[in-house]
Amino acid sequence: MNLAPALAAPHAASFAPTVSWTEMVSHRGYLVRFAQRRLRDPLLAEDAVHDVFEAVLSGRAVFAGRAALRSWLTAVLKNKIVDSVRRNAGMDSLDDGDDEGGALAVECPQPRPDQIAEQHQLLMLALKRIEALPPGLRDVMRLRVLEEQSTEEVCRELGISEDNLFVRLHRARKQLLS
């Protein structure tokens, strides 16, 4: 006699605990706060929580009872937040700012060529000033700051104590700022 079909687990959905509206709504405040922290927009947060409730009520999201209801609702909400972010990506309006003369000002996150040239000049000036320091101060600045070696490595290479290293760094920075 073959008992395999009789021992096979029935479809999981038939054992899925049902979630009552009152149970679900009791977590609404927590879910809205969670969504607001992620989305930083109260209206989008409300929409995401509404989407969670709609998914549960329509049966698109089924609570299997393997976790606490709040944890499961939060997991569903996380997915709704991701969906919302993807849906709204690249949809920022260009009409929000004051555009004078009809031209929209869109700021590029990269520095402009003149800013790059200015940064390059400042860097060259700083490096020249470091090279002009007395040898003991120049060495600690070069090793610790420019080459980003650890305190232990610099002390070992120069044969100085940590206290002496910090004194030299302080004096070098003080001279560079004066």
pLDDT < 50 stretches in the chain = 1-15, 99, 102
- Residue 14 DSSP code: G
| Residue 2 placed within a domain | no
Please report which residue ranges of the chain form alpha helices under DSSP H.
4-7, 21-25, 28-39, 42-58, 69-88, 113-131, 135-140, 151-158, 162-177
pTM above 0.75, yes or no: no
In a domain, 119, yes or no: no
Q: Report pLDDT digits (tens) over 90-125.
A: 665 555 555 455 455 566 778 888 889 999 999 999
Domain carrying residue 150: 124-177
Residues 75 and 135 grouped into a single domain: no
- Is 1 inside a domain boundary? no
The pLDDT value recorded for residue 93 is 55
Please identify, among 35, 62, 88, the residue that sits at the C-terminal boundary of a domain.
88
Q: Is the residue at 37 inside a domain?
A: yes
Total number of domains in the chain: 2
Instruction: For residue 133, give the CATH number of its domain.
Output: 1.10.10.10
| The predicted structure's pLDDT at residue 7 | 39
Residue 3: per-residue pLDDT: 42
> CATH number for the domain including 71?
1.10.1740
* Residue 54 near residue 76, CB atoms below 8 Å: no
pLDDT tens-digit readout, 44-53: 889 899 998 9
Which of 70, 88, 106 delimits the end of a domain?
88
Mean of all residue pLDDT scores within the chain = 82
Query: What integer pLDDT is reported at residue 171 of this predicted model?
Result: 94
In a domain, 3, yes or no: no
